[in-house]
């Protein structure tokens, strides 16, 4: 079992988690060795029929599943690219909340890192996949505090911190790695102690996005529409998750101004309405 590089407060977690196990209720994994199955694709809602936040989220999940299922089918075979397969499985895990896909993502990134241990981006994605494993682990309730099934969830939380911190340490100016870590940390329950670092990551990302030349190695990426779309979407979700509604509103507005994807336009619109925008 991989030993985490954890810190003593919020990262070691064992005593805290046992004392406040309910705080970890949203996190977990499926045992290794599972084989992904074709996800059940939600029916795509035409943009003109989206009349609320639930349908907007459903349409976005369906679009994500369709895109990344095709990528998984193309790249998961013996002649495929494990990194691309890992990204596909990660996005399927995020959209379906099925831990089988989280497990597939970790397996794929394990293969990448076996051949290239210094590939910081793959390590960051693996860390975030561990967090998805923890989120979707099927053990619930009091079973979480029983040695064995309950501690599997804790192991994956610790592995997420280890991989994400290691990736940022190896490539501190890579905006994609910072975005992965910041988004993952802010999605975790506060008891795990990553919130301050997640906010710091987003502060740095905002500065880089406003002034790409302040990060010259990655300025071209930071100027791209693709980056700004990903950044504003991730920031909007993260800020809404932690109750920073004004920041979330600004980010949803900027996303709607940046993207030409009609499904994302609808998603941004209905999130803004849900947060009280006129």
Whole-number pLDDT of residue 8: 31
pTM of the full structure: 0.82
Report the C-alpha gap between 247 and 254 in whole angstroms. 11
- Per DSSP, the residues of the chain read -PPP---TTTTS-HHHHHHTGGGGTT-B---TT-------PPPPPPGGG--SHHHHHHHHHHHHHHHHHHHHHHHSSTTS-HHHHHHHHHHHHHHH--HHHHHHHHHHHHHHHHH-TT-HHHHHHHHHHHHHHHHH-S--GGGGGSTTHHHHHHHHHHHHHHHHHHHHHH-TT-HHHHHHHHHHHHHS-GGGS-HHHHHHHHHHHHHHHH-GGGSGGGHHHHHSHHHHHHHHHHHHHHHHHTT-HHHHHHHHHHHHHH---HHHHHHHHHHHHHTT--
pLDDT of the chain along its 278 residues, tens only? 222 233 333 333 332 232 222 222 233 333 333 344 444 455 555 556 778 999 999 999 999 999 999 999 999 999 999 999 999 999 999 999 999 999 999 999 999 999 999 999 999 999 999 999 998 887 555 444 555 555 788 889 999 999 999 999 999 999 999 999 999 999 998 888 889 999 999 999 999 999 999 999 999 999 999 999 999 999 999 999 999 999 999 999 999 999 999 999 999 999 999 999 86
Whole-number pLDDT of residue 191: 81
pLDDT, one tens digit per residue, over 223-260 is 999 999 999 999 999 999 999 999 999 999 999 999 99
* Measured CA angle at 150 (ends 132, 168), to 5 deg: 40
pLDDT, one tens digit per residue, over 10-26 is 333 332 232 222 222 23
């Amino acid at each position: 079992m991989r030993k985490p590089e954890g810190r003593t407060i919020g990262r070691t977690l064992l005593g805290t988690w046992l004392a406040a196990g309910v705080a970890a209720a949203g996190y977990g994994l499926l045992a290794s060795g599972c084989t992904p199955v074709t996800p059940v694709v939600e029916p795509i809602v035409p943009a003109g029929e989206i009349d609320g936040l639930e349908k907007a989220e459903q349409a976005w999940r369906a679009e994500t599943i369709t895109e990344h299922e095709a990528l998984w089918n193309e790249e998961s075979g013996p002649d495929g690219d494990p990194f691309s397969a890992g990204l596909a499985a990660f996005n399927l895990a995020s959209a379906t909340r099925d831990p089988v896909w989280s497990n597939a993502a970790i397996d794929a990134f394990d293969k990448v890192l076996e051949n290239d241990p210094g590939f910081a981006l793959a390590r960051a994605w693996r860390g975030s996949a561990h967090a998805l494993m923890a989120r979707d682990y099927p053990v619930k309730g009091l079973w979480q505090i029983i040695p064995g099934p309950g501690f599997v969830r804790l192991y994956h939380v610790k592995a997420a911190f280890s991989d994400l911190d290691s990736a940022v340490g190896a490539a501190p100016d890579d905006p994609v790695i910072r975005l992965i870590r910041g988004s993952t940390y802010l999605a975790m329950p506060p008891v795990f102690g990553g919130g301050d670092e997640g906010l710091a990551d987003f502060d740095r990302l905002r500065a880089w996005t406003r002034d790409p030349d302040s990060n010259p190695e990655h300025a071209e990426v930071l100027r791209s529409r693709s980056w700004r779309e990903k950044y504003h979407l991730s920031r909007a979700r993260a800020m809404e998750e932690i109750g920073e509604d004004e920041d979330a509103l600004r980010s949803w507005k900027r996303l709607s101004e940046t993207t030409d994807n009609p499904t994302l336009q609808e998603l941004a619109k209905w999130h803004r309405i849900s947060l009280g925008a006129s």
